[in-house]
Structure 1
Amino acid sequence: MKFTVTEYSFEFIVQKLKADRYYVPGYQREFVWTPAKQSKFIESVFMGLPIPFVFFWQDEEGRMEIVDGSQRIRTIRDFMDDKVALRGLETLPAANGLRFSDFAPSRRLMFSEKSLRVIILDNSTDAVTRTEMFARINTGGTTANDAEVRRGSLPGPFMDMVIELADSPEFVELTPISRSLVDKREREELVTRFFAYLESFDPTLVASDGGNGDIPSYKEEPRRFYFSFVKEANDRISSEIEQDDTSPTADAMREEFLRTLQFVNAVSPNGFTKSQTGNQVPRVRFESIAVGSALALRADPDLLLRSPDITPLLESAPFKEATKSDAANVKSKLLGRIRLVRDWLAER
């Protein structure tokens, strides 16, 4: 990874932020620091405590994306704009209730001239690498998850469809998950995985483990695999829309997803959960049931009419073993749990 290290004053960074030369990418979370946390940070600055590095990435237009440090930078901006009144300070209690303009000119100047050490990532650093780096060296902020990264950095018609299907009543009913997971776009993550695995699965290949069917593009780097798939799907669907104002690919994918939901609703009394009152949808369980069912329906569309009860499979020892969370992203495990459902349904 190529990068340079430099220092910028608070005043300089705030000016660039206001001029939209520095920006917070769409995949990052909204501003989440509380007034108390903002105040503690400002207090630390006045105390002269060291400030962690911030990370920028220069895009093709020369603008700087704030990869890590947006909460700190936005707090500095808001304080200098008199939008933050300090509160709850214990080390410098005399500053409680003060805004930036309440300080003496010399104090304001000293604050404005404080500097941040900045690591600027090279333009060639892609979004997957940037977020991987962020996750590894994050200094305690709230990290954007993969679904949020894809939503913000890969806008397009496929991503729009993922968001639409994730919010569909049929899918919501089959995936009863917590509010916090909904807010973290877990349903979008599940929909993306469904399409990435299903569309990349080649039933004519024999995998290295000897099983029928393989996902040749999956190299046990799931983040990069999903990212590449979403980008390619966006490009393919966009090209079709530009030519004919419609996308047969998107229409077929949407129809297959909804057909799979209809099938799972018919064959699995608990949908993708383990019980009628379940409120968790483990990813390994979802992938196995959803992708395995879709592949079985591709091979035998009449399976939808027969709709065999899948409960015996879901309660079997082989299924429970195949959907353990350990080594979930290992390719042989992924293929094994998908094939298990596909092959069991094929025998019905």
Structure 2
Amino acid sequence: MRSSLPSFEPGASGPDVFFLAADVGGTHARVGLGRTVQAASGDSPVELLHGEVFACAQWPGLGELLADFVARLADTPWGAEVSIQACVLACAGYVQEDQVVNRNLPWPVSISALRQRLGIERLTVINDFEALAHAVPYVKPWDMRPLMTGDGSAGGLASGTIVVMGPGTGLGCAAVLPGSAGPQVLPTEAAHVSLAPGTAREIDILRLLAGDRDHVPVENALSGPGLLKLYRAISTLRGESPVLDTPAAVTGAALEQRSEAAIEALSTFCALLGSFAADLAALYGAHGGILLAGGILPRIESFLQQSDFKKRFLNKGVLAPFLERVPVHLIDHGDLGVLGAACWLERELRRE
């Protein structure tokens, strides 16, 4: 299954470097053809020419998915002139030797095998939220929907460090640090921080999530699979048998108020998200703000606005006055991961 992203007519300026940029998640992969351009200050240094969205489960491997995208570039306006010189893949997880380590991807990923399959020697893998963070300088105020405006942020982001985070198939997080030579991006594995309950009920939930383990990562609650785990634990605590078997089913039942257990699960999810977002704001000194992305939040936006997210975000004792000044906004992940990966690659090329 494929769906198209917007394509753009070839520009008047000549191409610099053609490349592939992809944002590969556990459910979907967004792939784009781009090129570097001479940009004015504040504008993106890359131009995305063509892109598509793929359902990962319908492909035997990432190599086959990318090869299909490349093969069909012949049908685009750039087919005759494209010579792809580099590729950057934004994936959740981390690189260990030749492998991408991520239990949420539907297939193993070997970097050397991808290079051989695509015939592109310059192929690099970066963290998916590291890529998203590289797109932050090009996020416009009208692309953000305020959850908490903060004091003095003029309805957008403020000056200072910005944290980008979001739940999807997993939980991603990166920080954007201001610097004299331009913003610096710090990728993190914050998803593996221990889950910290904030109420007696959440302590009971944590016991069930832990089972016989002594570590429960926050991702086990703040992700699509985590939402399902919350629902199952809450059903057990309520003395009920869980009947919903997917994160989407839990979300739907909560939004339509068809299941008290689902409503409690989604409410708990939002409350834990508020606590964790505040933890990250405190850890990184996120005076600039928090951007919430990921595949789940756009669907539950209205629910999130009415939840305990704000209450739990500010429930940090003496840090509450600082957190009151931190703007929190929702953004649609969309093509920003592809754009950010492309911007990362352009920056690396410029450094050579």
Q: TM-score, normalised by structure 2?
A: 0.31
Bigger strand share:
2
Which protein is richer in helix relative to its size? 1
Structure possessing the higher radius of gyration over alpha carbons: 1
Give the structure-1-normalised TM-score: 0.31
Asked which structure has the greater RCO (Cα within 8 Å, sep 6+), the reply is 2
